[in-house]
Structure 1
């Protein structure tokens, strides 16, 4: 991955996380239970990689941290 590609990927990730958190915050405020629903689905989450970088549990842990962060921010 070139430096430009890595930088763009990082920027997309930051922007995506921001938009996602704001969306979750908005929906959870109007329809409580969204975070619980997402949290209940984490066991089905996996890493689609087909090489030595595949790590389903690492992907699940990132999702858990995102949910915990959303709860801390007052979304749940």
Structure 2
């Protein structure tokens, strides 16, 4: 794996962790955030312009993140 690919993977892992924690924190203090985010998924899409474009795959990942945040909660 190239240094760029490794760094990109590590950045993605760190970003996902921080986003989950932010989602959990805000939802615990202001219930409704996750519902709001879930309702926005119809507007989410893949910006690719080639054969890799897959709007539904992007929505599925986002939905999974919301489900995960709902399950995890703030401990």
When normalised by structure 2's length, the TM-score is 0.93
Q: Which runs of 5+ in 2 are unaligned?
A: none
When normalised by structure 1's length, the TM-score is 0.91
Alignment partner, residue 39 of structure 2: 40
C-alpha displacement of 1:15: 0.4
C-alpha displacement of 1:37: 0.2
Q: Which runs of 5+ in 1 are unaligned?
A: none
RMSD over equivalenced CA pairs, Å: 1.2
In the TM superposition, structure 1's runs of 4+ consecutive aligned residues that sit over 6 Å from their partners are none
Matched residue count: 74
